[in-house]
Amino acid sequence: MKGVILHGGHGTRLRPLTHTGPKQLIPIANKPISQYVLEDLRNSGIRDIAIILGDMLPDKVKNHYGDGSKFEAKITYIPQKEPAGIAHAVSLAEDFVGGSSFVVYLGDNLLKGGISKFVREFQESNYDTMVLLCEVDNPQQFGVAELDRKGKLVRLIEKPKKPPSNYALTGIYFFKPVIFKVAKKLKPSWRGELEITEAIQMLLEEGYDVSYRIVHGWWKDTGTIEDIIEANILVLDEIEPKFEGKVEDKTSIQGRVCIGKGAIVKRGTLIRGPALIGENAVIESGVYIGPYTSIGNNAKIKGGEIENSIIMDSCTIEINTKIVDSIIGANSEVIANQKGPKGNRLIIGEGSKIIF
């Protein structure tokens, strides 16, 4: 079985973070979102993986993943010149897939517990397609499944105004090569895209065996700033404490905190978990790192308070105020002179410098 990771799209709802790279490389708990996807495929026994590249700085993706060997996988890169829809992206993988069954996994999705059991089920079944569904509160924002009274899948609809159920497509699809035959019949939707929901609907109507499974636990489509911060919370909620760096005063660590190799947490700091301090980061005296905060590799936090935020690699934060619910892009500087308890919410793209 092979894997296909979709790594395209412009990520307009995540700007300015996506001005300098694809949305799938935004880190959650110091790891790119699509790396969780790749590792999930690998841990499910799928090591032959294609990444469908978009036109947003694809070389950054190649630089991170290389040939896949450091992730114990073999990676093939396939360019998608324009964002023409999921079904279009899937069709580009036809030569790569050959006669194999395969998993399509959107590179900006996170799934608690992974897909291992679903991979086994699909391999042991005669299904032509299997989709994963998750119950959501806002189904109109997703592709939605309609089930009949017996629980059989009868229809899929893309972002309906009146959803027939609360079961959303998660962006994880199991296919046999017949999907390529159907994809060739598609015409662009009102969005100008070839819709995967329409392709699977064709399979249903033509009598192919299309099944589904409902995922339990959390699933996160990280399409907005709020989604990114919530995903960081969900991942940090499951970390186990680990001290690989230097902590000058262990009493300054409360709760579940991970300290990366080469990191230094100086005396007089207070870190309340769940929190993650990256490799070679420096947390100076007097700093407070609150729950659900991830500090990137090589970051320097010289003053202030940070809660429920993502600070990416090689940032410098030197403030005497508070940052909350924020995402600070890599290689950025935030320097503040104002005083007082006011909290600041910042979304700062890579390489920025903010003085206030």
CATH for 295: 2.160.10.10
What mean pLDDT comes out for the span 175-203? Answer: 87
Give domain status of residue 271, yes or no.
yes
Kindly state whether residues 155 and 210 are assigned to the same domain.
yes
Domain that holds residue 252: 242-355
Kindly state whether residues 218 and 299 are assigned to the same domain.
no
Residues near 299 by Cβ (< 8 Å), separated by ≥ 6?
278, 281, 282, 311, 312, 313, 314, 315, 316, 317
Contact 240, 256 (CB under 8 A): yes
Give domain status of residue 233, yes or no.
no
Kindly state whether residues 280 and 147 are assigned to the same domain.
no
The region of weakest confidence among 79-88, 174-183, 198-207 is 79-88
Kindly state whether residues 202 and 292 are assigned to the same domain.
no
- Among 228, 254, 273, the domain-final residue is 228
Kindly state whether residues 324 and 220 are assigned to the same domain.
no
- Among 177, 198, 228, the domain-final residue is 228
What pLDDT band is residue 149 in, cutting at 50, 70 and 90? confident
CATH for 211: 3.90.550.10
Give domain status of residue 234, yes or no.
no
At 34 the pLDDT is 94
Strands (E), 95-226: 102-106, 109-111, 129-135, 143-147, 153-158, 167-175, 210-214, 219-221
Contact 84, 92 (CB under 8 A): no
Give domain status of residue 154, yes or no.
yes
Kindly state whether residues 287 and 222 are assigned to the same domain.
no
What pLDDT band is residue 356 in, cutting at 50, 70 and 90? low
Instruction: With a cut of 90, say whether residue 40 has pLDDT above it.
Output: yes
At 164 the pLDDT is 86
Kindly state whether residues 223 and 248 are assigned to the same domain.
no
Give the pLDDT confidence of 194-233 residue by residue, as tens digits: 888 889 999 989 999 999 999 988 888 887 888 899 999 9
Kindly state whether residues 171 and 305 are assigned to the same domain.
no
Give domain status of residue 237, yes or no.
no
List the alpha helices (DSSP H) in the chain: 33-43, 58-65, 86-91, 94-97, 116-124, 178-183, 196-205, 225-236
Q: Which of 35-44, 185-194, 249-258, 324-333 has the highest mean pLDDT?
A: 35-44
Instruction: With a cut of 90, say whether residue 18 has pLDDT above it.
Output: no
Give the chain's radius of gyration (CA, Å).
Answer: 22
Kindly state whether residues 52 and 131 are assigned to the same domain.
yes
Kindly state whether residues 197 and 121 are assigned to the same domain.
yes
Kindly state whether residues 255 and 158 are assigned to the same domain.
no
Give the pLDDT confidence of 102-119 residue by residue, as tens digits: 999 999 999 988 999 999
At 10 the pLDDT is 65
Give domain status of residue 92, yes or no.
yes
Kindly state whether residues 255 and 332 are assigned to the same domain.
yes
CA distance 31 to 276: 11
Give domain status of residue 235, yes or no.
no
At 340 the pLDDT is 52
Please count the structural domains in the chain: 2
Give the SS3 label for residue 170.
Answer: strand
Give domain status of residue 81, yes or no.
yes
- Among 195, 228, 261, the domain-final residue is 228
Q: Report the predicted TM-score, pTM, of the whole model to 2 decimal places.
A: 0.89
CA distance 107 to 222: 9
